[in-house]
Amino acid sequence: MTQTQQLGPLTRLLMNDAAGRKVLLVLVLMAIFIPLSNLLLPEGSFFHVSTYTMTLLGKYLCYALLAIAVDLIWGYCGILSLGHGAFFALGGYAMGMYLMRQIGDRGVYGNPELPDFMVFLNWTELPWYWLGFDQFWFAMLMVLLAPGILAFVFGALAFRSRVTGVYLSIITQALTYALLLAFFRNDMGFGGNNGLTDFKDILGYSLQSDNTRAVLFVASALALILGYLLSRFIVTSKLGRVLVAIRDSESRARFLGYRVEHYKLFVFVVSSMLAGVAGALYVPQVGIINPGEFAPINSIEIIIWVAVGGRGTLFGAIIGAMLVNYAKTYFTGAFAELWLFMLGGLFVLTTLYLPKGVVGLWAQLKEKYLLKKQKALLVSPQDQSSVATEGVTGSEPSAGEKA
Amino acid sequence: MSLQTPKHIDNPSVLYMDGVSVSFDGFKALNSLSMVIAPGEMRAIIGPNGAGKTTMMDVITGKTRPDSGTIMFTDNHKTEHDLTRFDEADVANLGVGRKFQKPSVIESLTVFENLEMSLKGGRGIWQALMHKLTAEKAQKLDEIMEMIDLTDKREELAGNLSHGQKQWLEIGMLLGQEPQLLLIDEPAAGMTDEETMKTAELFKRLAQKHSLMVVEHDMDFIEALDCKVTVLHEGHVLAEGSLATVKANPQVIEVYLGR
C-alpha cells in the first residue's frame, strides 16, 4: 500500500488497467498523427487523412465520451438511463448558442444582435436566456451547468423517492422526449425544428478551415482521454466500490450506512456533465444541433454501444461506441433501410451471447475452453494429454482470431 | 437528542421497544411489541412464520416506520436516539448493524474490499472519493479477517465464496461497522453442522463487546447460544426466558413447537 502511494497519480490510475492503457495510447497516437497527416501530407499521399475522415473520427470520439458517461452510471452504478442523449444535446445547444452569436451580422438578415430565426419570427430583442452566450467562457460554463443542473434536479427527485430499475429508465426516456417536444417549438427560442446551424467560426477561427477542424479533433481526443481518467479515478476509489455495492445490492449499501441517493446523484451529475462536454465538441464538427438529438432512439443507441463494447469496463465503452458507429456509417451508406434492424439484432445478440461485450469475448472463450478441458479430464483421465492438445487446436486459435 | 426521557434510564438498555405496532393493509404485522435488550446481552428470537420477526428488524433499522410505539437506542456515549425518526443509513451510522437472512455481500468485490467498505466512518461522497487505507484500518481489517477465518481468501471475489463463507463475510462486515447492536437474521441457514457450531462460538465471543439479537429457527443453534429466548407470535411477545422455560410453556407449545 505504501508503495502505491509513492507512485504518480496517473500510474496509480492505470496500474491495473492494461487494456485501458492500450486504448489511451491509441487515442494519443490518433490525436498526434491524424491532424499532422491531414495538415502536412499532400492530398494524393497514401497516408493522408482527409478532412472528412478526420471530422468523422472526431464525431466518434465525442460519441465515445458519451458512452463513458453512460457506462459510469449504468455499468458501475446500475442506473439504466435511457435519456442521456438529452444531456448530450443540452451541451450541444449551449455550444450552438455561442456559435450562433459568433455569426454576428453575417446572417441572411444581417442583424448584428439577433440570430436569423429570431428575425424571421419578428422578435425584436434577444431573450434573457441568450444573454452571455456571446462569451466563450460563459457558454463553456453552461455546457457543464445546463446538463448538470437538470441532472441534479431530476436525480434529486428520482433518487430520493427511490425510483429504480425499469421505472427510472422510463422516466428518463420521458424526460428526453419532453425536451424533444419543447425544443421543437419555435417560441422556445432555440430555433425550433431547424435548430441552430450555419455556424461561421469559433473563437474567431473559421469552422471551415482544416486547421480549426484539426484543433477540434485534438480537443475531442483530449476530452475523451481526460473523461476516461476522471471516470477511472472515480471507479477505482472507494466511492467506485460503493457504486458497485449499490448496483449489486442497494439495500446492503444502505444498511452499511451509505446514503445511496447521494452517491447516485453525484455520479449521475458527473455523467451528465461528461455527456454535455461530448455534445459541445460534437456540434462544431457536424455543424448543426437540432431537436432530433433529443430523440429517445438516440439515447437507446448509447446503451447499445456500451453493451456491445462491454458494460462496466470504461475502455469497452470507447471500443463499443467506435465499432457500432463505424458500422452505422458503413451500413447506413450501403443498406440504409436495414440499419435499424441490424442495430436491434446486434443488441439482442449481445445480450444473449456476449454479456460482457466484445472486450469480454476473449475471457469468455478462455473460460469455455478451460471448462471443456476440465470436462474432458473428468471423462477420460488416462488420455488426458491427447484431449488437451485436441482442445488447443480446436478452440484456442479461433478465439485468437475473433478477439 | 430525544424528546422525552424514558423511565428505564437507571436500568440501562441498548434497545428499548415499547408498544410498537405496524400494520400493512389492515394486517397487524407487529401488535404492541415490547422488548428490552441490555448492553452486552445476546438474545435469540424465535417464532413461527409471519410472527413479525423480519418486520421487527425493519422497524428497528429504519426501513419501515411504525404506526405507533417507542423505539429507543442508546449509543456508546450514553446518548438516546429515537430510531423511528431515522432511515436505514442513519440507523446504521448510529450503531445498529443488520445481517440479512440471504447472505448479502457484494459479489463482484473481493473479500477485502467488502470489509474495507464496511469499516466505520467515511460515509460522505468526498471522503469516499479521497479515501486512503491507513495502517490502523489495515490492521483492523486483518483482525476481522482472522476472526471470520477468511484471511487466505482476502483477494477472492465474494461471489466465489461458499454459502457459509458468505455468511461469515457478512458477519465480518457487521463487525467492521463497530455497532453496539447487531441484528442477525437466520445466520445458520444453509450452514453445515460444523459451521453452525463455529458461528455459535463466534457470537458468544462477540456478545462480550456487542449486543446481539439473533433470529433463528435452528433449535440446536439456539441451544448452543445458551441465552435468553423471546418467542414472537402474531406480532407480540408470547413468552420470554431460558430455552428450557420457553419450551415448557404450554402456549408456546401450542402455537409453535407443538406443530
Please tell me the predicted confidence (pLDDT) of residue B136. Answer: 93
Please tell me the predicted confidence (pLDDT) of residue A214. Answer: 96
Q: How confident is the model at residue A380 (pLDDT cuts 50, 70, 90)?
A: low
- What ipTM describes this predicted complex? 0.88
B1: pLDDT strictly greater than 90: no
Query: Which whole number is the average pLDDT over A83-90?
Result: 98
User: Is the CA virtual torsion B114, B116, B121, B122 positive or negative?
Assistant: negative
Query: Which whole number is the average pLDDT over A284-313?
Result: 96
A88: pLDDT strictly greater than 50: yes
Mean of pLDDT over chain B: 89
Question: What's the CA gap between B39 and B57, in Å, rounded?
Answer: 18
Query: Which whole number is the average pLDDT over A80-100?
Result: 97
Q: Which own/partner pairs from A138-145 qualify as long-range (CB within 8 Å, at least 24 positions apart)?
A: A139/A94, A139/A95, A139/A97, A139/A98, A140/A94, A140/A280, A142/A94, A142/A97, A143/A91, A143/A94, A143/A95, A143/A276, A143/A277, A143/A279, A143/A280, A144/A91, A144/A273, A144/A276, A144/A277
Q: Closest partner residue to B128 among A238, A249, A254, by Cβ?
A: A238
Let me know how long chain A is.
403
Nearest to A252 by CA among B14, B126, B82, B61: B61
For A347-368, letters b (16+ CB in 10 Å) and e give beebeeebebbbbbbeebbeee
What 3-state DSSP class applies to B223?
Answer: helix
- Please list every residue in chain B whose beta carbon sits closer than 8 Å to the beta carbon of residue A258: 89, 123
A403: pLDDT strictly greater than 50: no
Dump pLDDT digits (tens) for B150-202: 999 999 999 999 988 999 999 999 999 999 999 999 888 888 888 889 899 98
Query: Which whole number is the average pLDDT over A244-252?
Result: 95
Residue A254 CB neighbour total at 10 angstroms: 25
Please tell me the predicted confidence (pLDDT) of residue A342. Answer: 92
State which fold the B9-103+176-257 domain adopts: Rossmann fold (3.40.50)
Q: How confident is the model at residue A1 (pLDDT cuts 50, 70, 90)?
A: very low
What pTM does this model have?
0.89
Q: How confident is the model at residue A219 (pLDDT cuts 50, 70, 90)?
A: very high
Please tell me the predicted confidence (pLDDT) of residue A253. Answer: 95
Residue of B nearest to A240 (CA): B129
Q: Does B57 touch chain A (CB under 8 A)?
A: no
Q: Does A367 touch chain B (CB under 8 A)?
A: no
Please tell me the predicted confidence (pLDDT) of residue B151. Answer: 94
Question: What's the CA gap between A371 and A363, in Å, rounded?
Answer: 12
C-alpha cell at B25: 393493509
Q: Does B177 touch chain A (CB under 8 A)?
A: yes
Question: What's the CA gap between A55 and A61, in Å, rounded?
Answer: 10
Q: What percent of chain B has pLDDT over 70?
A: 94
Segments making up each domain of chain A, as ranges = 18-355, 357-403
Q: Which residues contact B159 (CB under 8 A, 6 or more apart)?
A: B107, B108
C-alpha cell at B162: 461458499
Q: Does B121 touch chain A (CB under 8 A)?
A: no
Mean of pLDDT over chain A: 90
For A291-309, letters b (16+ CB in 10 Å) and e give bbbbbbebbbbbbbbbbbb
Question: What's the CA gap between B259 and A13, in Å, rounded?
Answer: 60
**Lowest-confidence segment of A123-127, A271-275, A357-361, B125-129 by average pLDDT:** A357-361
Q: What does DSSP assign to residue B10? A: G
Q: What percent of chain A has pLDDT over 90?
A: 78
Between these two residues, B12 and A395, which has the higher pLDDT value?
B12
Q: How confident is the model at residue A398 (pLDDT cuts 50, 70, 90)?
A: very low
Q: Which residues contact A196 (CB under 8 A, 6 or more apart)?
A: A93, A96, A97, A99, A100, A115, A190, A283, A288, A289, A290
Taking phi over 0 as left and psi of -120 to 50 as alpha, with beta for the rest, B230 belongs to: beta
A111: exposed, middle or buried (C-beta count within 10 Å: 0-12, 13-18, 19+)? Answer: middle
**CA neighbours closer than 13 Å in the CB half-sphere of residue A142:** 20
Is residue A202 within a helix (H) or strand (E), and if so which, with residue range?
A: strand A201-202
Question: What's the CA gap between B55 and B27, in Å, rounded?
Answer: 12
Q: Tell me the pairing of strands B181-185 and B211-215.
A: parallel
Q: Closest partner residue to B131 among A238, A256, A266, by Cβ?
A: A238
- Please list every residue in chain B whose beta carbon sits closer than 8 Å to the beta carbon of residue A242: 117, 128
Interface A–B counts its CB contacts (< 8 A) at 72
Q: Does A256 touch chain B (CB under 8 A)?
A: yes
Please tell me the predicted confidence (pLDDT) of residue A53. Answer: 95
Q: Closest partner residue to A244 among B93, B109, B122, by Cβ?
A: B109
A132: pLDDT strictly greater than 80: yes
What 3-state DSSP class applies to B6?
Answer: coil
Question: What's the CA gap between A165 and B199, in Å, rounded?
Answer: 36
Query: Which whole number is the average pLDDT over B137-158?
Result: 94
